[in-house]
Amino acid sequence: MIELIDTRKVFNVGKPNEFTAVHDVSLCIPSSRVTVLKGPSGSGKTTLLSLVGCMARPTSGRIMLSSVRLHSPLWEFSGGEVSSLPERFLTEIRRHTFGFIFQQYHLIRGLSALENVMLPAYPRGEPYGILKRRAMALLDQFGIGGKAASRMEWLSGGEAQRLAIARALINDPQAIIADEPTAHLDSRLSEELMAILLGLRDQGKTVIIASHDPIVCDSQRVDGVVELRDGRVVSTT
């Protein structure tokens, strides 16, 4: 479970263009559920997503990650507040706990599909054979195993989207975070994506999606919708 307590995020603090993207939000995101952050652009859903995903630290308030266990040679994390951790630890938690799917996929040009999938695991330095096998298994799972050696630019839109999902899963994270994943997809591909994300939930993963696309928000199969406006939670269902 991810819990936000009075979380506030202010950009450009102390400058004339200072603005508050998230106003004192308190929120609980349950594990193994699909939660949608809904709202028009500028409502603060992307910022909230980056706070939840340990990409940014809140200006004030706290973020708690329970049920996250991490052992590394140097330190140990057994759940609790993450908002005050230094960058290094935050990165490590993020790498282990969250997989990201971006609006424009953000795949690395010039690299093969296989390399793109393996990329988030590079800093962990595990044996090459093991990582490659895991990456191939993911590519096969999403039906693009045959394209493993192809450069990312040569993939079709649907293949690139599945590649982005495979990349998000390489470190076997507990949670998947997707920012406007259907923004550049037609309805058929959007439905396909939703099916994949719901399937991941059924495997026990927590899925958090920021979107204002009706295909996502109004789906009967999502577990919760948090509606945002002007950086504040308007309603929770």
Q: Are 225 and 36 in contact (CB under 8 A)?
A: yes
Phi, psi (degrees; rounded to nearest 5) at 51 = -70, -45
Residue 46 contacts another protein per CB under 8 A: yes
Q: Please report how close the Cβ of residue 214 comes to another protein at its closest, in angstroms.
A: 22
Contact mark string toward another protein, 192..211, x via CB under 8 A? --------------------
Pairing of strands 34-38, 224-229: parallel
Residue reference for tokens 């990456």: 135
Q: Please report how close the Cβ of residue 74 comes to another protein at its closest, in angstroms.
A: 12
Residue 212 contacts another protein per CB under 8 A: no
Site for another protein in 76-95 (CB under 8 A): 87-88, 91-92, 94-95
Say which amino acid occupies 77.
F
Count of positions on this chain that bind another protein (CB under 8 A): 34
Region of residue 201 (left: phi > 0; alpha: psi -120 to 50; beta: else): alpha
Q: Please report how close the Cβ of residue 235 comes to another protein at its closest, in angstroms.
A: 24
Dihedral angle sign, alpha carbons of residues 50, 52, 55, 59? positive
Residues that bind another protein (CB under 8 A): 46-47, 49-50, 55-56, 87-88, 91-92, 94-95, 100, 102, 106, 108-112, 115, 118-120, 122-128, 167, 171, 179
